[in-house]
A and B are shown apart, each in its own frame.
Chain A
Amino acid sequence: MSSKKKKKLTPAQKEYQTFAKSKEPKRPVFKNCVKAFIVGGIICTIGQFLQWLYMTYFNFTEVTAGSPTAATLIIISVFLTGLGVYDHIGQWAGAGSAVPVTGFANTMASSAIEHRSEGFVLGVGGNMFKLAGPVIVYGVFSAFIVAIIKIAIERLGGM
């Protein structure tokens, strides 16, 4: 709760807030971190293996191998989402499965599948980016600002 809202509370409400907070189940932070570390690490290692595969057998360079690697991970993740496996992994791993690019594909596929009963245009098309949209919006906006600032600094420095 924001501090602004807290100031308006009566003493009884404040007491209740602290009471509710003390009864809130403690999150096993360390255990969750270990799970996230293991699953996230494994997904990245699979990514590294795919990258190595593309570089060794398909004549990609270290730079160009990034795209097929991401695409392959996304295909695997979408397929696992469709089978309902990825959500089980996600429940166990928390951020370990949400942070890698597979988590991004999972949010898109799961919202697309979930809303297909509302029709393919408004349901699937309209809801596909419901969860993945914020990432793209904030990514593009921050990238735009960062790029503009960097170019401005370079131009001014070059003058």
Chain B
Amino acid sequence: MDKFIWAFLVGGGICVIGQILMDVFRFTPAHMTCTLVVVGAILGGLGLYEPLIKFAGAGASVPISSFGNSLVKGALLEAERTGIVGVLTGIFEVTSAGISAAIIFAFIAALIFKPKG
């Protein structure tokens, strides 16, 4: 049960950071998400993001910053197994499910739904 509370607090906290970037620093949503992804990648490289996921569960793994972390994680894991080429082959390894699902279901949605006015 603790996990749910921490997921709520940490996930909400990351969203507040995004909101502050948008309102105070006047970032567009695209700039804001890109910034969070890059920050997530850097934190992943420093080994700080995994402990956060362990602590907050989905609170850290659902926000987009975990996308950057997962890219780094996949690249490093595959590089360990197959050498330096692994950085290229492994970069999408962990995030593949998310990206594939997004592409497939976005396309299905485009087949089914009509634009809303």
- Name A's B-contacting residues (CB within 8 A): 27, 29, 32-33, 35-45, 47-52, 66-71, 73-75, 78-79, 81-84, 87, 94-96, 98-105, 108-109, 112-114, 116-117, 120, 124, 128, 131-132, 134-136, 138-140, 142-144, 146-151
Chain A minimum-CB-distance residue to B92: A140
- Name B's A-contacting residues (CB within 8 A): 3-4, 7-16, 18-24, 29-30, 32-34, 36-38, 40-42, 44-45, 57-59, 61-68, 70-72, 75-76, 79, 84, 87-88, 91-92, 94, 96-99, 101-103, 105-110, 112-116
* Contact call B19/A104, Cβ cutoff below 8 A: no
* Contact call B58/A135, Cβ cutoff below 8 A: no
Chain B minimum-CB-distance residue to A127: B110
Give A71 to B102 CA distance when docked, in angstroms: 8
* Contact call A108/B19, Cβ cutoff below 8 A: no
Give A136 to B13 CA distance when docked, in angstroms: 23
From B13, B99, B106, give the contact of A37 (CB < 8 A). Answer: B13
Given contacts A82-B109, A139-B67, contact A71 B97 (CB under 8 A): yes
